[in-house]
Amino acid sequence: MSRYSRDPPDGGYGWVVVASAFFIMGLTAAVLKNFGLFFLELQNYYSVLTSTTSLMTSTTIAVFHLGSPLASALSMHLSQRPVIMVGGLLAASGMIIASLGLSLPWMYLSVGVIQGLGVSFTWVPANSMVNHYFKRWRPIACAISSSGECVFGMAFSPFFQWLIESYSWRGALLVIGGLQLNLIVCGALMKPLQPVQTSRKAVLDSKEGTGTSKKVTFQCSLIQRPELLLYIVFAIFAAAGFFIPPLFLVPYVNNLGMDQYWAASLLSVLSLADLLGRLGCGWLANLCLLRNLQLLTMVATAMGVVLLLLPIAYGYWSVLVFTSLYGFLFGCVVAIHVTSIVDIVGLEGFDSALGLFMLLRSIGGFLGPPAAGWLVDWTHNFGAAFYLSGICLLLSGCFVVLVDWLVEKKKKKKLQETLQDPCTETTDLKADV
């Protein structure tokens, strides 16, 4: 009888997986990022407050995160391929139902719950596949796959605006739902890793007895690790700040009196800067000049500062500069914040840690947009949303500093124990002689 173990191939079919993940990110995250174009349309259609309208997007974000542990667990038991295909069907169904223009609770159900669960079932397994297919080239592979969000985002901004003007917001959502059916094809391309066969003797001699072939289960106990817990706190604050600017940028510039297409062009610039940030930061992380967590601290803090300064911009070009800086730094954060989980718990605990990370991050994603909407309603100033976002990101950077310190402390302790073991063994051998 044979046992199996798996090593990342670092190439080969892995690049097909990266390409598939590229399209998955584009058809899920890019759609969510550009949903701000529908904000005023939905607010006027249902005649509701800013905070009530923003609750649609925050519900999507919350369900996306809450469904992540389930997506991780199903991927472990069924493989990522079927989970992504089901997720694609759910995402498309949510948009198609939303296009019917039913009551507000139906919008929360379709855009919020169904779409959010579909995004979760596609985004989480796709990221997992890329991380398992690569080791040496993991940072750059993750950067390339995640850049699908930026490339599609650049195209979707003017495209969605044109759809809204040509077919109304309901027709636009129907077309988007049709596009998201392609997620099923992307899932079909996600071929699970073929295990490498090893001898029975090698497995029996191993410390675990069954090697890596034993059935993988979801490890909830990882939450007890202080470094992962603090990293999740970082994620909560970061998520609260992440999802506010794309949602409120278009209403902010419209409030300044800019044309709708100028506002849409800002989202395209944001996506281009995001793309450059992901690829640049992924390449920099691959050079290992700085630890991932050190780099993450720097870019998260800088992004917080940029968002605090953005409301002082009142002209198109000044808004464009701050939007570009925000987009670039956002791309830097996204390029390394998921791969940093491997640095904290290792590859063997990555799937479970990612599920827990996304689950608890939902707290920030759910509370951030409505809180920003409430501030806007209260102050009658869209700039208040960016102040809240900047403060959240500055706080998140403080927690990454603590995580990096704990991880390095644990590495040094492990290194000291390793250096002490040979001395102990040598002493024992001399005693035997």
* Tens of pLDDT, residues 189-227: 998 876 655 444 444 444 443 333 445 677 778 888 899
What is the reported pLDDT for 247?
A: 78
What is the reported pLDDT for 231?
A: 92
Helix (H) or strand (E) holding 3: strand 3-5
| Residue of 67, 192, 134 lying closest to 342 (CA atoms) | 134
Rounded CA gap, 394 and 234, in Å? Answer: 10
Q: What share of the chain is helix, strand, coil (3-state, %, to 5)?
A: 85, 0, 15
Tokens of 235: 């994620």
The CATH architecture annotation of domain 7-194+216-411 reads: Up-down Bundle (1.20)
Q: pTM of the full predicted structure? A: 0.69
Give the count of beta carbons closer than 10 Å to the beta carbon of residue 170.
14
Rounded CA gap, 375 and 388, in Å? Answer: 9
Burial 183-201, CB ≥16 within 10 A → b, else e: bbebbebbbebeeeebeee
What is the reported pLDDT for 423?
A: 52
Low-confidence ranges of the chain (pLDDT < 50): 1-5, 198-214, 424-433
Query: At a CB cut-off of 8 Å and minimum separation 6, what does 188 contact?
Result: 81, 85
Rounded CA gap, 391 and 405, in Å? Answer: 22
What is the reported pLDDT for 312?
A: 85
C-beta separation of 3 from 198 below 8 A: yes
Rounded CA gap, 360 and 342, in Å? Answer: 18
Domain range annotation of the chain: 7-194+216-411
